[in-house]
Structure 1
Amino acid sequence: MTHRMTITLDDETFAFLNRVASNNRSAYINQLLLQARQECLKMALLQANQEEAADTNYQQALPAWDSTLADGLAHD
């Protein structure tokens, strides 16, 4: 599904967009937003990993879960 929208750009930004995006401004802007979204996800994962590493209760509980690694199920 796609959506249409109207945005306002100053003259300099609009000229830049026309210069770098050629004749497909929508695809260019969409690609920029996808990259920004991926960067946000990457930063959220990094923060979650840092919080997990700092959580001593969680770190102490991890060895108890190691026994589930040999659950007898085939791993492909």
Structure 2
Amino acid sequence: MSYRITITLDEETFVFLNDVASGNRSAYVNQLLKQERRNFLQAALCKANQEEAEDADYLTELQAWESTLADGLASD
């Protein structure tokens, strides 16, 4: 589904957008926002991983569960 919106740009930004958008400003802006969303999600994931790595209680619990990984499985 696509949505229409109205945005306001200053003249310099508008000229730049027209220059780089290859005739399809909507597609260009959409692509920029998709990339920014990926960047945002990647940063959030990195932050969560860092917080997890610094959580001593979690690491202790994780280490206790590590010993159960091979329970009942034949090793090849």
TM-score over 0.5 for the alignment?
Answer: yes
1:43-58 matches, cutoff 5 A: 43-58=43-58
5+ residue gaps in structure 1?
A: none
Distance in 2 separating the partners of 1:28 and 1:71 = 52
Matched residues in 2 for 1:5 and 1:71: separation? 56
Runs of 4+ residues deviating >3 angstroms: none
Q: Which amino acid aligns with 2:62?
A: L
Q: 1:11 to 1:62 in 2, by over 3 A?
A: same
Amino acid of the structure 2 residue aligned with 1:39 = N
TM-score normalised by length of structure 1: 0.86
Q: TM-score, normalised by structure 2?
A: 0.86
CA gap 1:7/1:71 in 2 versus in 1, 3 angstroms:
farther
Percent identical: 66
Residue equivalent to 1:24: 24
